[in-house]
Amino acid sequence: GNSVTQMEGPVTLSEEAFLTINCTYTATGYPSLFWYVQYPGEGLQLLLKATKADDKGSNKGFEATYRKETTSFHLEKGSVQVSDSAVYFCALSSITGNQFYFGTGTSLTVIP
């Protein structure tokens, strides 16, 4: 079946540190992959996505590359800010387009 496994948190980083949040997936075929983010007090929102192997999604300084060979979609940012403190969810859409699977979420806190 389809599933998403992401790195457990919480993660605490100092401002300007490098961020990696690991995400691996199990799926039939080649699903679309997503990172959603939930800032404190706000609803879930799309951060970035990739729809095929080797695609790189990017937004707000965050990047993730769809790696078919390692079934991964790790989220990275070169220099985090306090405003990046949030819960990050890795997710996939099944190739049939009928199901969507979220990981358990990784809480990130960035301290000044």
Partner 1 sequence: EAGVAQSPRYKIIEKRQSVAFWCNPISGHATLYWYQQILGQGPKLLIQFQNNGVVDDSQLPKDRFSAERLKGVDSTLKIQPAKLEDSAVYLCASSLQGLQETQYFGPGTRLLVL
Catalog residues that contact partner 1 under the rule CB under 8 A.
4, 32, 43-46, 49, 51, 89, 91, 93-94, 97-105
Identity of the residue, 46 or 82, whose beta carbon is nearer to partner 1 in the bound complex: 46
Q: Residue 103's closest CA among 21, 41, 42?
A: 21
DSSP E strand boundaries for the chain: 3-6, 11-14, 19-21, 23-26, 32-38, 45-50, 56-59, 62-65, 75-77, 86-93, 100-102, 106-111
Identity of the residue, 3 or 12, whose beta carbon is nearer to partner 1 in the bound complex: 3
Measured distance CA(44)–CA(37) in Å, rounded: 6
Q: Residue 34's closest CA among 20, 23, 48?
A: 48
CB of 11 to partner 1, least distance (A): 16
